[in-house]
Chain A
Amino acid sequence: MTRSEFEHIAPRLRPLMVQVALDFFGSEDDAEDVAQEALLSLWRYCEHIQAERNVEGLAVRVAKNCCVSWQRRQGLSAIVPDESPSDSAPALSHSPHDLLEAKEVQETLHEIIARLKPRERELFEMRQIEGLPPNEIAARTGLQKASVNVIVCCARKKVFSELKKILRR
């Protein structure tokens, strides 16, 4: 997806993201900020996916992820009464070493996925990034649901074995 294509669909996606954030924070200001951040994150994902894909599901997932990340960064508490923020949204490790390692692992994961066959990669990303269920993938790609499951299984096992090798080093 090109930048101009993304800018064309962004006004349609933004209200979805604002609504997700508004449900979570209850504040329009926070929701606008989170939606802005979510659009930037979505652009990073959309760089690698085809323009004809329906990215609304992905936009909602990215917005949810941004809500949790925003809440964790802001140190907001009282998500649920009588509950500390660490209970509701457990913090990930934030040390520079961990962040660097996580970034390296993510790059390795992208390289592994990039080495998959095109069909495997397409279905893997549709299933993993966009979060589409197998029957919807089957409807979009014109494949049988069983075939989708087989291709997705094969792609996952390839990525899994490659990742395991890297993690065991």
Chain B
Amino acid sequence: MKDKDIQQLTDRYLAGETSNEEERRLALALHEIQTSRGELPADWRAVQLMLGELTLGEALYDDIMARRGAASLAQSASAPSVRLTTERQKSSRHRLWRWAAAAVIVLAAGIGVALYQPETSQPKAASALTNKTSEHNQRYIPPRPALQVATTNSINEAGQPHEPMRKNASAKANRRKRKSAQPKITPSGTEMTSPTLEERTEEPLLAAAEAEQQTENVQYPSLSNDDDPYAAVEAEMRDIRSRGERLQRMLDEIINDKTMLANHLN
């Protein structure tokens, strides 16, 4: 407050025209001047004494409380901006999270495609070049030898007719192939698939042994260890399984990376 204002307030105070608020302002201003300049003019000093310590104490109290209120208001005003900043950070984190998740999914899909595509496309390419797909398919068609032997044995031991076997078209076709590949080699000279009842009852074990021999010699004559379709399938399955395990490991690593990224962002 300027000296001129203080003098005006002093005059009004002596005239009894000041309010309580103005008197508190006057007491505070005189106190500040006394503190800064060291002493007051006699007129102002007299007014200061008349105002008394109560007015000054009340003025100081109200001033302090007002400044506290302003400070708390400023803090509360700054708080929303902090909250807003936090919300923005959170939303940007969420956006980053979404992008990271999408990137991980795309990466996983890409890796999966890259791993699986050459393996699945290799037979096609090979078949396109060497036309071996038909061989593979043909090798899949015949049933496993054990199954064939068992069925043959059971038929021979039970002495039942072979009509049920004939119902199976693929088995019939296989038998035809075997017959065409290997002519009748049974001791009786008759076709194995249609033995007579006497033959079947007299030499069931021999027929079974012949049938087994036939299946081994006729059905898979060319299936060596290298060309065995089941072995190839099993090897392929093993290969696929190992690739799957590798892919699983890679996916685990990706998930770990994702978790680390999430922890880092948090």
Instruction: Tell me, yes or no, whether A binds B.
Output: yes
A residues bordering B, Cβ < 8 Å? Answer: 23-24, 58, 61-62, 64-69, 79-81, 83, 88-91, 105-106, 109, 127-129, 131, 133-134, 148-150, 152-153, 156-157, 159-160, 163-164, 167-168
Q: Give the chain B neighbours of A83 by CB distance below 8 A.
A: 67
B residues bordering A, Cβ < 8 Å? Answer: 13-17, 19-20, 31-32, 35, 42-43, 45-47, 49-58, 60-62, 64-65, 67-68, 71
**B25 CB, min distance to chain A CBs, angstroms:** 14
Q: Give the chain A neighbours of B42 by CB distance below 8 A.
A: 164, 167-168
- When the two chains form the complex, which single residue of A90, A128, A168 contacts B51, counting CB atoms closer than 8 Å? A128
| Interface secondary structure of A, over-half rule | helix
Tell whether, in the assembled complex, residue B58 and residue A64 are in contact, meaning their CB atoms are under 8 Å apart.
yes
- When the two chains form the complex, which single residue of B35, B54, B62 contacts A129, counting CB atoms closer than 8 Å? B54
| Interface secondary structure of B, over-half rule | helix
Q: A88-B64, A164-B42 are in contact. Are A150 and B57 (CB under 8 A)?
A: no
Tell whether, in the assembled complex, residue A167 and residue B61 are in contact, meaning their CB atoms are under 8 Å apart.
no
Tell whether, in the assembled complex, residue A79 and residue B16 are in contact, meaning their CB atoms are under 8 Å apart.
no
Closest to A79 in B: B64
**A124 CB, min distance to chain B CBs, angstroms:** 9
Cα A61 to Cα B27 with chains together (Å): 14
Cα A128 to Cα B24 with chains together (Å): 11
**B36 CB, min distance to chain A CBs, angstroms:** 9
Cα A91 to Cα B35 with chains together (Å): 8
Tell whether, in the assembled complex, residue A23 and residue B57 are in contact, meaning their CB atoms are under 8 Å apart.
no
